[in-house]
Amino acid sequence: SQLDTVLSAKADAAWHLHELTAERELAAFVLFSSASATLGNPGQANYAAANAVLDALAHHRPGATSLAWGYWDSPSGMTAHLNEVDQARVTRTAWNPITPDRGLALFDSALAHPRPALLPAPLNSRALARQARHNTLPPILSALTTARPQAASSGGRQSLATRLAAQSPDQQRHTLLALVITTTATVLAHPDPASLDPDRPFKDLGIDSLTALELRNALAQHTGL
């Protein structure tokens, strides 16, 4: 199964290394995990689970360290396929890409830290605050910002409902279509919402499972539904 394939590459391999070196005095036993094990990653539960095993192994083995890396700036097997839309989505979710120099510095700091599992994932404080104000920040990150959901957002939803109530059915369809188009353009990092064809399927526009989730959340924020 897909879960077995991912687990064997990460979890099984790490456990074998643990068993083979359990009786040896190593200078370090370092596991490269992913932030997805802590924060989750839509559509990649198997990958998150495999990395969670690595974090657990670091707790199990004395002296081990597991680094749950965030998003790297350099192309890799996990990031080489990312297009502009994917990169824009990563930016909106508050991740700051890790440069090689920053990564090496974080690695050195981690080896000097007593905790067995660490999360070297630089975050953008402005993006965190923006998500908090829009009530889209994952609860696990809420302590990293003092920003809180804006009470005024309900006024925006009431404003939309008020506008729709005063419009004819044709005008309502136009208003809602414009909302969906502009929100879709934002999610896709498209510079010109007017150029999006509303009759094209979402898939043809470049919407995948992850951007569909972001689009749903954005529309829910705008409409209160």
The string of pLDDT tens digits covering residues 52-106 is 999 999 999 999 999 999 888 876 665 555 666 666 666 666 778 899 999 999 9
Instruction: Tell me the average pLDDT across 160-178.
Output: 91
DSSP per position, 147-179 = ----TTHHHHHHHHHHHHHTS-HHHHHHHHHHH
Instruction: Tell me the average pLDDT across 175-199.
Output: 86
On whether the 160-223 domain is CATH 1.10.1200.10, my answer is yes
- List the chain domain ranges: 2-124, 160-223
Instruction: Tell me the average pLDDT across 152-168.
Output: 73
**Mean pLDDT over the full length of the chain:** 84
Contacts of 209 (CB under 8 A, 6+ apart): 42, 43
* Cα 218 from Cα 224, distance rounded (Å): 10
Contacts of 55 (CB under 8 A, 6+ apart): 31, 33, 37, 38, 66, 68, 117
Cα 56 → chain centroid: 21
Q: Which residue is listed with tokens 């399927």?
A: 201
The angle formed by the CA atoms of residues 21, 27 and 33, to the nearest 5 degrees, is 70
Instruction: Note if the pTM is more than 0.75.
Output: no
Cβ burial 183-207 (10 Å sphere, 16+ → b, else e): bbbebbbbeeeeebeeeeeeeebbb
Contacts of 35 (CB under 8 A, 6+ apart): 68, 69, 70, 71, 119, 121
CB atoms within 10 A of CB 41: 15
Asked if pLDDT for residue 137 goes beyond 80, the answer is no
**Given this model, what pLDDT does residue 31 score?**
97
Asked if pLDDT for residue 7 goes beyond 90, the answer is no
Q: Which residue is listed with tokens 């067995």?
A: 116
Q: Considering the domain 2-124 in this protein, what is its CATH number?
A: 3.40.50.720
The string of pLDDT tens digits covering residues 27-67 is 999 999 998 888 876 667 888 899 999 999 999 999 999 99
